[in-house]
C-alpha cells in the first residue's frame, strides 16, 4: 500500500510540473499549446536515449532534455504572430501528431513502438521514496521560478498579451519575443517533466505521449483555473482523485482508460459552462 501511494504521489508531482508549465503558456500568455505533451515526449526521449545509448549520467541528460524541449517550444511559438486562437491550437495539436510519428518511425533511434527500455533512475534516487523526493524538489524549484516570473513585469506583459495583444503591442511591448520566451520556458519545464517520467517508468513508447496525458493536463489547468499556478496543482490533485477512485468500482480494466478521458471531458464542459475561471483562476476561458 505504501509503495502504491508513493507511486501515485510521484505521478501527481510530475503532472503538477506539466500543469504549471502548461498554465504559463495557456493561462498567462493565452497560447493554447495542445502540443505540450509532444514537448514532454521530446524531453523524455532525449533523456532516455542519452542515458541508455550514449552513456550520459542522469543530471546532464535531465538538463539537455529541458533545453531540447525549450528549443522546440520557442520554434512552436514563431507562427503565433500570424496564426492565432483556435488555428494556433490546431497547429500545435498537429505538432503533437508529428512528434508521435517521429517517435514511431525513427526506429534506429527510438525503437519505434517497442519504445526505449532499461532507463535507469539516477544514482542515489533508485528507491521509489527518494525518487519522489527528487521529483518534489524539482517541482518546488520550478514553482518558485515560474511564480517569480509571472509576478514580475515580464509576467504582466504576458497577461497584457493574453488580454489584448494589439494593445500590448501599441504600448511598445515586444509581443513576439515575449511569446517565444514564454513558450521556451514552458517547454523547458515540461521537458524536465518528461525526463522525470521516463526515469520513473523506466520504459517509454510513443503511446506514453498521446492524448491521455494531454487531456489530463488540460483538465487540471481548466479545473484549477487559468493564470493560477496554485490552481494548477489543486487541479492535478483533483484529477488524480477522480482518476484513481475508479479503481474501487467493478469496471473492466479495458474500460478504465476511456472512462477516465470521458469523465475529464465532461468535467471540462461543466467548468467551461458554470465556472469559466476554474476554482482559483484569474482569467476567463474564452
Which pLDDT does position 286 carry in this prediction? 60
The pLDDT tens digits for 63-75 are 999 999 999 999 9
Q: What is the dihedral of CA 126, 48, 20, 79, to 10 degrees?
A: 170
Mean pLDDT, the chain, integer: 93
User: Can you list the residues of the chain whose pLDDT is less than 70?
Assistant: 285-286
Which pLDDT does position 264 carry in this prediction? 77
Contact of 219 with 268, CB cutoff 8 Å: yes
> b/e per residue, 250-283, with b = 16+ CB within 10 A?
eeeeeeeeeebbebbeebbeebeeeeebbbbbeb
Which pLDDT does position 220 carry in this prediction? 93
Residue 187 host element (H or E) = helix 175-201
> Which residues in the chain belong to E strands, given as ranges?
116-117, 203-204
125 CB burial (10 A radius; 0-12, 13-18, 19+):
middle
Which pLDDT does position 198 carry in this prediction? 98
Which pLDDT does position 285 carry in this prediction? 62
Half-sphere exposure of 33 (CA within 13 A, CB side): 38
CA-wise closest residue to 178 among 77, 33, 66? 77
Amino acid at each position: 500500500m505504501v509503495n502504491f501511494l508513493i507511486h501515485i504521489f510521484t505521478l501527481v508531482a510530475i503532472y503538477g510540473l506539466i500543469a504549471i508549465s502548461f498554465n504559463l503558456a495557456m493561462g498567462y500568455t493565452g497560447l493554447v499549446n495542445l502540443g505540450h505533451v509532444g514537448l514532454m515526449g521530446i524531453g523524455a526521449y532525449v533523456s532516455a536515449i542519452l542515458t541508455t545509448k550514449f552513456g550520459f549520467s542522469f543530471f546532464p541528460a535531465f538538463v539537455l532534455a529541458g533545453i531540447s524541449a525549450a528549443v522546440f517550444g520557442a520554434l512552436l511559438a514563431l507562427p503565433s504572430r500570424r496564426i492565432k486562437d483556435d488555428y494556433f491550437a490546431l497547429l500545435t495539436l498537429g505538432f503533437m501528431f508529428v512528434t508521435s510519428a517521429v517517435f514511431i518511425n525513427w526506429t534506429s533511434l527510438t525503437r519505434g513502438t517497442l519504445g526505449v527500455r532499461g532507463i535507469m533512475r539516477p544514482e542515489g534516487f533508485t528507491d521509489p521514496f527518494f525518487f519522489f523526493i527528487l521529483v518534489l524538489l524539482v517541482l518546488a524549484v520550478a514553482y518558485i521560478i515560474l511564480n517569480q516570473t509571472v509576478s514580475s513585469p515580464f509576467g504582466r506583459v504576458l497577461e497584457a498579451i493574453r488580454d489584448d495583444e494589439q494593445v500590448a503591442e501599441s504600448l511598445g511591448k515586444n509581443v513576439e519575443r515575449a511569446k517565444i520566451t514564454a513558450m521556451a520556458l514552458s517547454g523547458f519545464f515540461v521537458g524536465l517533466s518528461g525526463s522525470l517520467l521516463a526515469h520513473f517508468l523506466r520504459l517509454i513508447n510513443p503511446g506514453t505521449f498521446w492524448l491521455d496525458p494531454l487531456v489530463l493536463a488540460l483538465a487540471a489547468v481548466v479545473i484549477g483555473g487559468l493564470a493560477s499556478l496554485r490552481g494548477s496543482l489543486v487541479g492535478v490533485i483533483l484529477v488524480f482523485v477522480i482518476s484513481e477512485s475508479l479503481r474501487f468500482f467493478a469496471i473492466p480494466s479495458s474500460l478504465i482508460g476511456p472512462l477516465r478521458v470521458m469523465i475529464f471531458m465532461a468535467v471540462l464542459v461543466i467548468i467551461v459552462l458554470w465556472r469559466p475561471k476554474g476554482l482559483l483562476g484569474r482569467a476567463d476561458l474564452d
